[in-house]
Amino acid sequence: MTEKKRRPLLIRLALWVDDRTGAAKTGTSTLHKIFPNHWSFLLGEVALYSFIVLLATGVFLTFFFEASAGQVVYDGSYAPLHGQTVSQAYDSALNITFDVKAGLLMRQVHHWAALVFIAAIVIHMLRIFFTGAFRRPREMNWVIGLSLFLMSLGNGFFGYSLLDDQLSGTGIRIAYSVMISIPLVGPWIASFLFGGNFPSDEMIPRMFAIHILIIPAVILALLTVHLGMLVRHKHTHFAGGGARDDNVVGERLWPTYAFKAGGLLFIVTAFLALLGGIFQINPVWIYGPFQPENVSSASQPDWYVGWLEGSLRLMPNWEIRIGDYQVPNPFWGGVLIPGIAFGLLFAWPWIEARITGDRLEHHVLDRPRDMAWRTAIGIGALLFFTVMTIAGSDDVLAVKLDTSVNATLWTLRVLLIVAPLAGGWVTYRVCRELQKRDGPQVDPFLDDVPPPADPGDPPEAAPDNQEITA
């Protein structure tokens, strides 16, 4: 009898699983999925990997953080706060910082990862916008992506507010005031969220539940759909090298892309570890525990809420009073303007489709210059948010530049209107110039071109028209 050679253990394991799932069938097509290669396509991954770091460091922190407003007397390693009465939340934050090995690194990496996570989302969102990747069939993914952005923003805000330090407590107070400014329902929403008036003992435990459970669960769910649709639609790609609307040109998932993506995961984590090691962030021991009658000058929220802070500062002191009823000032800057801005952002794929009349499927990306009007609007919107963000730090700016904070504010008020308009116009001109270098182009916004045939029509034999229409 010939001896039967046993296959290696891993192979046998894989066969066992396949017997029960048929995994090899789908596995094959997954392994040679094609991913187009462009640096800007990895921005979403930078965000994703930052999120993974957030989850990992966050889990560590939950083992040490105490989400309670109960008062204790601090007697840890940080001498300048000895004997001060602080909340357990603040006390545990100091404990993590000064008395838990690797605690400070975990805390700082967690916070830096949050800042970088949201920054990566923004720059990824900009890439999607400027290349038109939100067009059919990816409108849902655009909406989901924006929702992820808002979720992350909120989670970050709750996250750094958990520590109950003076700076973040001031931010919660402002958020509470913005909430109650909503007509009719504002006070109810605020009272339900906070368990009453500000400050309340329920604030911290509830923010904790939201921050570690509710929002991360929503983010993970939305992220799954976001990535699932990406797999279903396949990635977009730029023109060139044979790229068309009916194919994907790039490299195989296995092994090339997997190694590169895996390498990027390690690299992103490495950069976050570097930030956490050498740049101090959120020194809550200097800010002190939150006391509602205290406040520091130069109180800013984390950068991604800066635009909201700036919006509150820039708004002139308008309010509406009718008898004993009012719409108070924070409503305009804190609710209405952000609501309109994000409403427009969410609706953009449909706004653009209405303007261009283009309802075709697109898998080949635009170069920003080729859609000059969209790029101009995008730059204008970006400048609008940037001026607001700068305005959020106008007192720091005034001190640094040794100018009057009042004059600085007025300058920023003017810039808020002027910069987007001027910047948008300049961008448009630049795009048109760049287009001219490439030869004659068609700008659907300005030139009189009839919209393309509706995709519901049966496909026409049109050899020069490579678009998929049905």
Q: Which of residues 324-343 bind other proteins (CB under 8 A)?
A: 324-330, 333-334
Sole residue written with tokens 């009073």: 321
Residue 160 contacts by C-beta under 8 Å, 6 or more apart in sequence? 111, 114, 168, 282, 302
Q: Which region among 212-220, 227-235, 376-384, 425-433 touches other proteins (by CB under 8 A)?
A: 227-235
Q: How far is the CB of 406 from other proteins (least distance, A)?
A: 6
Using DSSP, state whether 130 is helix, strand or coil.
Answer: helix
> Measured from the CB atom, is 150 or 270 closer to other proteins?
270
- Chosen residue from 64, 303, 346, 385 binding other proteins by CB under 8 A: 303
CB 133 within 8 A of CB 258: no
Determine if 361 is a binding residue for other proteins (CB under 8 A). yes
- Subset of residues 165 to 204 that bind other proteins, contact rule: CB under 8 A: 166-167, 170, 173-174, 176-178, 180-181, 183-184, 186-188, 190-199, 202
The answer to the question of residue 376 lying near other proteins (CB under 8 A) is no
The reply to whether 265 sits near other proteins by the rule CB under 8 A is: yes
Could you give the angle at the alpha carbon of 194 between the alpha carbons of 189 and 196, nearest 5°? 90
Answer for which of 18, 19, 433, 438 binds other proteins (CB under 8 A) is: 438
Q: Write the CA distances from 467 to 103, 247, 456, integer angstroms.
A: 55, 11, 14
Shortest gap between Cβ of 382 and other proteins (angstroms)? 13
Region binding other proteins by CB under 8 A among candidate stretches 7-15, 209-217, 263-271, 343-351 = 263-271
The alpha carbon of 73 is separated from its chain's Cα centroid by a whole number of angstroms, namely: 38
How large is the greatest C-alpha to C-alpha distance in the chain, in angstroms?
102
Residue number with CB closer to other proteins (173 or 432): 173
Residue 148, Cβ density class (10 Å: 0-12 exposed, 13-18 middle, ≥19 buried): buried
CA 251 – CA 35 distance, rounded (Å): 5
Distance, CA of 452 to chain centre: 34
Task: Identify which of residues 7 and 326 has a Cβ nearer to other proteins in the complex.
Answer: 326
Q: Are strands 325-327 and 237-238 parallel, antiparallel or unpaired?
A: unpaired
CB of 5 to other proteins, least distance (A): 25
Chain positions 47 to 76 lying near other proteins, rule: CB under 8 A, are: none
Find the shortest distance in angstroms from Cβ 16 to other proteins: 24
Cβ proximity of 351 and 95 under 8 Å? no
* 372, 443 contact by CB (below 8 A): yes
Stretch binding other proteins (CB under 8 A), from 215-223, 337-345, 357-365, 423-431: 357-365
- Residue 202 vs residues 305, 325, 445: alpha-carbon distances, Å: 23, 29, 53
User: What is the nearest approach in angstroms of other proteins to the Cβ of residue 371?
Assistant: 5
Give the one residue of 2, 4, 8, 317 binding other proteins; rule: CB under 8 A.
317
N-term to C-term CA, the chain = 61
Q: Which is nearer to other proteins, 142 or 285 (CB)?
A: 285
Parallel, antiparallel or unpaired: strands 320-322 and 325-327: antiparallel
d(CA 245, CA 305): 38
The answer to the question of residue 275 lying near other proteins (CB under 8 A) is yes
Does residue 233 interact with other proteins by CB under 8 A? yes
Candidates 6-14, 146-154, 307-315, 423-431; binding stretch for other proteins (CB under 8 A): 307-315
Q: How many residues bind other proteins (CB under 8 A)?
A: 186
**What is the closest distance, in whole angstroms, from the C-beta atom of residue 82 to other proteins in the complex?**
5
